């Protein structure tokens, strides 16, 4: 049986995985869902929230062989963590998640031509020093939860928090050779207003994956396609075995 380490995206927390975890555990797997610094219930001060501190949070739970699953911005975090602590990473799973190469940041990737038109860039507000990003509830509903029910939106949106910009803006410093030896899988979301399908396909082309599953859902498959996402994660464990 596999051990999954689940890493949330920007504005989120470990809570986003709650709908998916029961199916993974019912299949006999072990699941660890973490709050990144500043996410969920974590109270790390904004000046201490960096890409490095996020990666360190992931590495801290890699004492056992694990499948690292990153959602959205979490793809950047697991990329850095896997390079830093590759010995216990059995595979990497990117759930509508960014896949940077060495020297690339999340912001670099969103500026590629295929990333144009997403509703995060269109609506995000950045302020403060150190800078933090916010997204209004109305914009979040359109950008992230456009295929979710009103009840699902009401459950998720109030849990979201402002997001430190540093993890967006910092390029990963990774060993691409080390990462190339770790199997990758990808969950591609087809009605995604936050992370364009074209940009997802470009990243898959640049970082070949052992398995790709396409889901007809929005940028929140943990809510809008819960059963399908859980099934994909379970299948990916077999690929990694």
Q: How much of the chain exceeds pLDDT 90, in percent?
A: 98
Give the range of the structural domain holding residue 221, as residue numbers without chain letter: 3-240
Collapsed DSSP state (helix, strand, coil) of residue 65:
coil
- Span 151-179, pLDDT tens digits: 999 999 999 999 999 999 999 999 999 99
- Span 45-99, pLDDT tens digits: 999 999 999 999 999 999 999 999 999 999 999 999 999 999 999 999 999 999 9
Collapsed DSSP state (helix, strand, coil) of residue 238:
helix
- Return the CATH number at 169: 3.40.50.1820
Residues in the chain, overall count: 241
Global confidence as pTM: 0.97
Number of domains in the chain: 1
pLDDT for residue 241 is more than 90 = no
Q: How far apart are CA 122 and CA 115, in angstroms?
A: 11
Residue 240: band (very low, low, confident or very high) from pLDDT cuts 50, 70, 90: low
């Amino acid at each position: 049986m596999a051990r999954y380490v689940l890493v949330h995206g920007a504005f989120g927390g470990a809570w986003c995985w709650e709908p998916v975890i029961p199916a993974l555990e019912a299949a006999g797997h072990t699941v660890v869902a973490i709050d990144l610094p500043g996410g969920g219930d974590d109270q790390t001060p904004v000046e201490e929230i960096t890409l490095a501190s996020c990666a360190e949070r992931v590495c801290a739970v890699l004492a056992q062989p694990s499948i690292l699953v990153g959602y959205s911005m979490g793809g950047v975090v697991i990329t850095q963590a896997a390079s830093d602590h590759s010995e216990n990473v059995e595979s990497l799973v990117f759930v509508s998640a960014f896949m940077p190469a060495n020297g690339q940041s999340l912001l670099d990737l969103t500026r590629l031509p295929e990333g144009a038109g997403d509703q995060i860039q269109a609506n995000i507000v950045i302020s403060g020093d150190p800078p933090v990003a916010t997204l209004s509830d109305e914009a979040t509903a359109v950008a992230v939860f456009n295929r979710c029910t009103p009840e699902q939106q009401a459950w998720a949106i109030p849990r979201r928090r402002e997001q430190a910009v540093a993890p967006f803006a910092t390029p990963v410093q990774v060993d691409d050779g080390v990462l190339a030896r770790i199997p990758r899988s990808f969950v591609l979301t087809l009605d995604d207003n936050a992370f364009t399908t074209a940009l997802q396909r470009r990243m898959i082309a640049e970082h070949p994956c052992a398995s790709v599953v396409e889901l007809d859902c929005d940028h929140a498959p943990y809510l809008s396609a819960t059963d399908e996402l859980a099934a994909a994660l379970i299948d990916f464990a077999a690929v990694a075995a």
